[in-house]
């Protein structure tokens, strides 16, 4: 798509975007990356960008918007608690939350009319529903829905039928869409923060003080997300002595879990202990850690999948079984079925983890093959592709 011809509707003035979505990092950070990418694109064309983020009060998206200097307004929203039992769907908590949605729609209509956007970008989460409904049904503003996972989340499924365009992260999502929605769908991939691509392995060694690492051995990066994962921590703890026989390990365990895991590692031989780096959190060093890592053990959230496939990393995924719509299991299986990762599903034990990781550590060629398969499913230009879609959907002045 030729970006030079995408902004005639905003010639001579700033482009105006409402972005909505949040609740989790999986919805929030792709939206932020898209905003940054759009801002850079328009600046290169000599055009400004005005952004309003509509989200939930006192939320991750509100804090991210504040940190980025993005104007923010909140609307009421309600979370539907899913259940296979239809009686539970009309539980008091669901009924109370759903009664808030019309209020949120009216608040969103006021925000949309007041801001006058050229387009609304919705990245999922319950807060996107009232904003998307207000934009399409009440304000007649183009709506772009972006889905990060293989299967559309509930919020995006609700909005997809009225959306101008539906941006998907995977080709395999297309057959899952209702026939009436497929014509509006385009595969962009899931935006990845550009800094992820700037990592340097040697910087990780220096920044984290990993001078006891044996660079002749592969490095395994274990992560359960910012807060850590008790499940992944336990699996790795139980195989740690074995794991350190043939690899270096960086274990990001979550701030609340450091003391317990450190107590379990005190009996390690000095040579092994020097090759085990335990940390509660990895911040700005993450791109460098990913550059150093030969194998990654992680959850299979959409953001993690996008980063690891864009970089081309061999990975063993331990999906969060309670993720909404079982999306992490679908994400992991999608890649595992194509030889682009390994997935521990159902029978998740330390022995299963050992069986999965062992061949990757023993055979560099196998690691390289899996990494290449992962890279084939990655879309490092996803943010640019999504910006193309947003600009093409913008209404004429």
Burial class (CB in 10 A: 0-12, 13-18, 19+), 318: buried
Q: Are 243 and 168 contained in the same domain? A: no
Q: Are 183 and 271 contained in the same domain? A: no
User: What average pLDDT does the segment 20-36 reach?
Assistant: 94
Query: Residue 163: helix, strand or coil by DSSP?
Result: coil
pLDDT band at 327 (very low <50, low <70, confident <90, very high): confident
Which pLDDT tens digit goes with each residue over 50-94?
A: 999 999 999 999 999 999 999 999 999 876 545 455 555 455 655
Q: Are 136 and 209 contained in the same domain? A: no
Which pLDDT tens digit goes with each residue over 354-382?
A: 999 999 999 999 999 999 999 999 999 99
Residue 8: per-residue pLDDT:
46
Secondary structure letter of residue 11 according to DSSP: T
| DSSP secondary structure, 302-343, as one string | HHHHHHHHHHT-EEEE---TTSGGGHHHHHHHHHHTTTS-EE
Q: Are 251 and 176 contained in the same domain? A: no
What's the mean pLDDT when you consider all of the chain? Answer: 91
CATH number of 74's domain: 3.40.50.2000
Q: Are 225 and 136 contained in the same domain? A: no
Domain enclosing residue 343, as ranges: 194-376
Residue 101: per-residue pLDDT:
84
Residue 324: per-residue pLDDT:
66
Residue 80: per-residue pLDDT:
56
Which pLDDT tens digit goes with each residue over 113-127?
A: 999 999 999 999 999
Q: Are 59 and 125 contained in the same domain? A: yes
Which pLDDT tens digit goes with each residue over 179-210?
A: 999 999 999 999 999 999 999 999 999 999 99
Q: Rounded distance, CA 151 to CA 327, Å?
A: 7
Q: Are 360 and 387 contained in the same domain? A: no
Q: Are 208 and 355 contained in the same domain? A: yes
Residues of the chain by 3-state class (helix, strand, coil), percent to 5: 50, 15, 35
Q: Are 76 and 186 contained in the same domain? A: yes
Contact in structure between 316 and 296 (CB atoms under 8 Å): yes
Q: Rounded distance, CA 104 to CA 86, Å?
A: 25
| Total number of domains in the chain | 2
Q: Are 162 and 98 contained in the same domain? A: yes
Query: Residue 273: helix, strand or coil by DSSP?
Result: helix
**Is 50 exceeded by the pLDDT of residue 4?**
no
Contact in structure between 310 and 380 (CB atoms under 8 Å): yes
pLDDT band at 396 (very low <50, low <70, confident <90, very high): low
Q: Rounded distance, CA 41 to CA 212, Å?
A: 43
Q: Are 348 and 200 contained in the same domain? A: yes
User: What average pLDDT does the segment 90-104 reach?
Assistant: 69
Q: Are 229 and 127 contained in the same domain? A: no
């Amino acid at each position: 798509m030729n970006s030079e011809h995408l902004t005639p509707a905003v010639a001579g003035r700033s482009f105006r975007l409402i972005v909505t979505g949040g609740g989790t990092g999986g919805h929030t950070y792709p939206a932020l990356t898209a905003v940054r990418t759009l801002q850079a694109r328009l600046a290169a064309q000599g055009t400004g960008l005005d952004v309003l983020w509509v989200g939930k009060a006192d939320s991750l998206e509100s804090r991210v918007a504040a940190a980025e200097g993005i104007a923010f307004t909140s609307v009421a929203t309600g979370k539907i608690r899913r259940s296979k039992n239809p009686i539970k769907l009309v539980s008091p908590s669901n009924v109370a939350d759903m009664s808030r949605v019309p209020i949120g729609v009216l608040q969103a209509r006021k925000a949309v009319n007041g801001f006058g956007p050229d387009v609304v970008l919705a990245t999922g989460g319950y807060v996107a529903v009232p904003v998307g409904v207000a934009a399409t049904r009440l304000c007649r503003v183009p709506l772009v829905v972006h889905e990060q996972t293989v299967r559309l989340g509930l919020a995006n499924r609700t909005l997809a039928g009225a959306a101008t365009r539906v941006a998907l992260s995977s080709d395999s999502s297309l057959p899952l869409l209702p026939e009436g929605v497929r014509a509006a769908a385009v595969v962009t991939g899931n935006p990845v923060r550009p800094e992820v691509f700037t990592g340097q392995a040697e910087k990780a060694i220096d920044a984290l003080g990993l001078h006891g690492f044996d660079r002749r051995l592969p490095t395994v990066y274990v992560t359960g997300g910012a807060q850590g994962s008790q499940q992944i921590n336990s699996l790795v703890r139980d195989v740690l002595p074995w794991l350190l026989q043939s690899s270096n390990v960086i274990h990001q365990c979550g701030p609340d879990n450091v003391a317990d895991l450190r107590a379990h590692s005190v009996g390690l031989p000095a040579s092994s202990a020097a090759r085990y780096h335990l940390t509660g959190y990895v911040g700005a060093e993450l791109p460098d850690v990913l550059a150093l890592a030969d194998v990654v053990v992680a959850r299979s959230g959409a953001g993690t999948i996008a980063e690891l496939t864009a970089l081309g990393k061999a990975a063993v995924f331990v999906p969060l079984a309670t993720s909404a719509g079982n999306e992490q299991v679908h994400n992991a299986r999608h890649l595992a079925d194509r030889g682009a990762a390994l997935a521990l599903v159902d029978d998740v034990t330390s022995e299963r983890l050992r069986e999965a990781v062992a061949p990757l550590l023993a055979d560099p060629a196998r690691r390289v093959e899996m990494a290449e398969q992962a890279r084939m499913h990655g879309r490092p230009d996803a943010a640019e592709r999504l910006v193309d879609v947003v600009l093409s959907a913008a209404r004429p002045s």
